[in-house]
Structure 1
Amino acid sequence: MVEPARRVSARLQSIPESATLAITAKAKQLRAAGEPVIGFGAGEPDFPTPDYIVKAAQEAVVDPANHRYTPAAGLPELRQAIADKTLRDSGVSVEASQVIVTNGGKQAVYNTFAALTDPGDEILLPAPYWTTYPEAIKLAGGTAVDVFAGAESDYKVTVEQLEAARTESTKALVFVSPSNPTGAVYTPEETAAIGQWALEHGIWVITDEIYEHLVYDEAVFTSILKAVPELANQTVILNGVAKTYAMTGWRVGWMIAPADIIQAASTLQSHATSNVNNVAQKAALAAVSGPLDAVNDMLKAFDERRKTMVKMLNEIDGFHCPTPKGAFYAYVDVTRAIGKEIAGQRVDTSTELAQVILEKAQVAVVPGEAFGKTGYLRLSYALGLDELIEGVERIQNLLNND
């Protein structure tokens, strides 16, 4: 009997596991084993989904209409509600026919690159970036071109950097503000300048707006399509209910795009998954149609945690953490802590530093390699304040007393 030459496709063998999910799973595994691990890995609000959203789902469960297949692109009433919400929150007018409801934001990302990208296409990807973007680009046959901005630039790229990276093969730009993993928020002027540059060069913009309501201090969320309306025929908006409404487990996202892109994505989704769970869609309908009171309450808690975490991180030897203006992440430059011996171990990368912190301080953080470059750590402050303080204190005790 002859064994197959290859059991797993080379395409999938080239894709690593999501680093953020892996770190979170490791922390949960250690806690289940009785270890007092504190996890800063998950990009997940620690608040429950608001009651009125849960109630809508409970009512949907007993309605037989939700026990059947529904359109692959989403419930018509939810697509319309998303269009209405986009005008309300982003100032961008779209038709319901331009919306497709997806199984979480990740499917919207995958659909988008699959619909836009051909082999040889280059996608400009500002770094640090969310771990899934380069892998989705690769799966679609494209090439991710990193454009890096460090702590000294508040992790924001410039038009000049983008222009230097542009080639004849450049198809699209990924634009994320507020940012995961850095918490950076582009100003309205910076957003408009990047949008104008993309317009002038015929470059698609893929804008991920899932953190739109999580901004602090003087920062404001500005949709790039609001800043440059002329981009409407070459922009895809990605969004979802996960972060704003504490609904990560419900798995409802969406993409908004020109009609031909939506048609292609709908065709793909009809073969991949068909419709999103109907009960979850009904819950999402209640979320996007309802008030923002719950997110405003979360924002106050996140803000207190943000200030506390940044202050404490900047008290650690070798750490430099710019103040994030959005989302719920702190992104720490730890380059001055690299190349040293910590707890008897030499640390030459941020992956090694994260491993030492996990082993010696029992704190889980995500190393910068997951987001494009070594020398950084990402910590989520979407956890209780007391636990947050204890976790950062453990890191302080490890590094400041070494």
Structure 2
Amino acid sequence: MLRNSFILLCLMISSSFAQSLEEIINSAINNNRDLQSIEKSIQIANEQIKLSNKWDNPILTIGANDLHFDTSRRDLEPMQVQYLGFSQSIPINDKFSLQKDIAVNDKNIAQLNYEDAKLKLKSKLIEYLYSIKILENKYLLLNEYQKNIKNLEDLTTSLYENSKSNQSMIIDLKTDYLKVEVQKQNLKNIINNNYLKLEEITYEKVSSIDVMLDVKELILVREISTHPKIKILEQNSEKFNKQALLEDAKKLSDVKLNVAYFQRDDKYKDYANVSLSIPLALYGKENIKILQAKIKASEFKDKLEDKKKSFELKIASLQNDLNSTYKKYQLFKDMIIPLQENNQKTIEKYNSLGITQPNEILKNLNKIIKNQIAAYDEMKSYFDAYAQSYYFTQGKIR
């Protein structure tokens, strides 16, 4: 009976769980404030792309010179003029194209940050959902364990009254009962806090989780080139290479066109001024900025190689964790627990023949429950590794 109950708790994840998980993930994605904040950075990047092709606003100048105290007289001398001026910076040397490319890099980085944040969120949700369900099942087993200890205590008390046991045995059982109560309180606290963490990232109160658990051999796909974290570093390196090109293009600075019309008294002819302002790159400021951008691009390239290696090792480590916890769980489920259940049948048979005492039945039942709890510990380690693997493999697990 216990074996059947245990197996039922360890069946494959049902389709209803998949839908339930999907609903929780969608709710978290729609409501999570961090994701909403990153979405706004994507919108800002879109506007920056539009801005990258915009010319600087022209400058309109209106004025008058050689003002005398008698401001009504504007015919005293030829230099007295009213004028209207217009200035416009004219971009040259393909700067707009480079500025747009850099803005596109920034947008790509914002989108990749969003995808990375979603992966982390899904990974965390999976961790909490599995953890809660496993701990709730452990809590139920601890209830059964306490009942058996209580029955064993009652039986020992009865034997004590007939001088067939001692008081020390009763005290030990009472202590065992209270120790289990402490374990239950610890579990309950962890479960309650996990529900709060779930609410924190979903912005919805989750009262219960209806999932079934499946422990099976898994293979992690070690394709990391498409991971958002890797792509972000690639985009940053590319961005600063383009920044270096932009700084080089700035050696030929934008030309500023100035046009002004000067109006004079009727005694004198009006005239116009036209000029070009061309900043000269004489002091090497642009060369320093080029070098800074190239160093930054190289820095991100180094970080990229380091991150790739880190991801490869992390996935390999998680694969080891999954393999190890799977094997240990199988030992409990397929060998240790069945052996004790067979032993239970033998003890019950001997008890019916009067060869063993009834308390041996309860003691062995508690051993079975202890090993079921130990199996859940391995299951939790398995699903913790699975949740982390989801992030590093982008859910590519088979």
Shorter-chain TM-score range: under 0.3
Q: Which has the higher strand share?
A: 1
Q: Which has the higher helix share?
A: 2
Higher relative contact order (CA closer than 8 Å, sequence separation 6+): 2
Which has more radius of gyration? 2
